[in-house]
């Protein structure tokens, strides 16, 4: 259903507000650079600091630009089940291709709570759902067993796996099956993820290097492994620099160096420190992204 490089889009700000024109121009550039899909309003899109109105609007803006050329997986997660349902209903209404729903953060639900949360959303909205499992941010970790139960629902079609546990990719594939779409949420191990049976990567790095990230995924699916490994090694320092401080401060600064947006983040994400700026710029030059 979904494959390749899907960009976990930044949300540009200008004077404290969402830069709607800047965002849509950025989305158009991403498509032209060859990405295979778009994911607005995730962690990289600073969804925790967007109002509900902004959240819905950013998803709308993305769908408007994509026009079916590439799939849009709209971020619709919340630690409130009712809010997640409302956001997912809006994504369905505007024509998103799927919803990315994060495991509820802060509440710290049990595995049964996770199961009931996702079933409630899947029952309420007829839209493909990608589970976003990111225990480092949400504190809870959905087990393979819970995910297998949820995958029995026709609307729950895959996972964005940000656990960095490569063995889990194999265990999930064996337990759930090949048809369950496993997408990596960790750029540095995205090639290994493919080797273990994954279908692609919801990428932070592709905000600054969409063409290189897409080419690497395309090369994998074509079996051009020498190209895969060459691009993997070019991208590795860039991956590391994108997380030199809390995401999305580094990647937003990187995009600003490309002239695509301001580097502004919303508190509590702080502006990037000078030393970190130097590392981001150096890695982008090393990847041939800056003159």
- Please work out, in degrees rounded to the nearest 5, the angle formed at the alpha carbon of residue 276 by the alpha carbons of 273 and 278: 115
Q: Is residue 20 helix, strand or coil?
A: helix
Alpha-carbon Rg for the chain in angstroms: 18
Q: Is 160 a catalytic residue?
A: yes
Q: How far apart are CA 15 and CA 203, in angstroms?
A: 27
Give the count of alpha carbons within 13 A of 240, CB side only. 10
| Options 92, 132, 252, 260, the catalytic residue | 132
Residue that has been written with the tokens 């830069």 in this structure = 19
HEC string of 143-202? CHHHHHHHCCCCCEEEEEECCCCHHHHHHHHHHHCCCCEEEECCHHHHHHHHHCCCCEEE
67, 105, 149, 160: the active-site residue: 160
Quote the strand ranges of the chain, DSSP E: 4-8, 13-14, 17-18, 37-39, 73-75, 98-102, 129-133, 156-161, 181-184, 200-203
Q: Sheet of 181-184: strands edge to edge?
A: 37-39, 4-8, 200-203, 181-184, 156-161, 129-133, 98-102, 73-75
> For 159, which DSSP code?
E
Structure tokens at 49: 């600091």
Q: How far is CA 240 from CA 161, 188, 220, in A?
A: 18, 7, 21
**What values do phi and psi take at 158, rounded to 5?**
-175, -175
Q: What residues act catalytically?
A: 132, 160
């Amino acid at each position: 259903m979904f494959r390749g490089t899907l960009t976990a889009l930044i949300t540009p700000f200008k004077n404290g507000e969402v830069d709607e024109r800047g965002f849509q121009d950025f989305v158009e550039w991403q498509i032209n650079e060859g990405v295979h899909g778009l994911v607005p309003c995730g962690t990289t899109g600073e969804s925790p600091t967007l109002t509900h109105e902004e959240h819905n609007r950013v998803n709308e803006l993305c769908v408007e630009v994509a026009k079916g050329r590439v799939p849009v997986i709209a971020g619709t997660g919340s630690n409130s089940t009712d809010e997640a349902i409302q956001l997912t209903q809006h994504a369905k209404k505007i024509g998103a291709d799927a919803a990315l729903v994060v495991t509820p953060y802060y509440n710290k639900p049990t595995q049964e709570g996770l199961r009931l949360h996702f079933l409630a959303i899947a029952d309420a909205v007829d839209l493909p759902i990608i589970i976003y499992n990111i225990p480092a941010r949400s504190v809870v970790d959905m087990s393979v067993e819970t995910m297998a139960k949820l995958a029995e629902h026709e609307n729950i079609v895959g996972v964005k796996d940000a656990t960095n546990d490569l063995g889990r990719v194999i265990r999930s594939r064996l337990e759930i099956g090949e048809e369950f779409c496993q997408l990596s949420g960790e750029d540095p191990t995205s090639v290994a993820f493919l080797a273990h049976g994954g279908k692609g990567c919801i990428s932070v790095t592709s905000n600054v290097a969409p063409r290189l990230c897409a080419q690497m995924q395309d090369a994998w699916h074509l079996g051009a492994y020498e190209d895969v490994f060459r691009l993997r090694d070019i991208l590795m320092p860039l991956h590391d620099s994108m997380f030199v401080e809390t995401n999305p401060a580094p990647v937003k600064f990187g995009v600003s160096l490309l002239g695509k947006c301001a580097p502004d983040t919303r508190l509590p994400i702080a502006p990037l420190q000078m030393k970190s700026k130097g590392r981001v710029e150096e890695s982008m030059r090393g990847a041939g992204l800056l003159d």
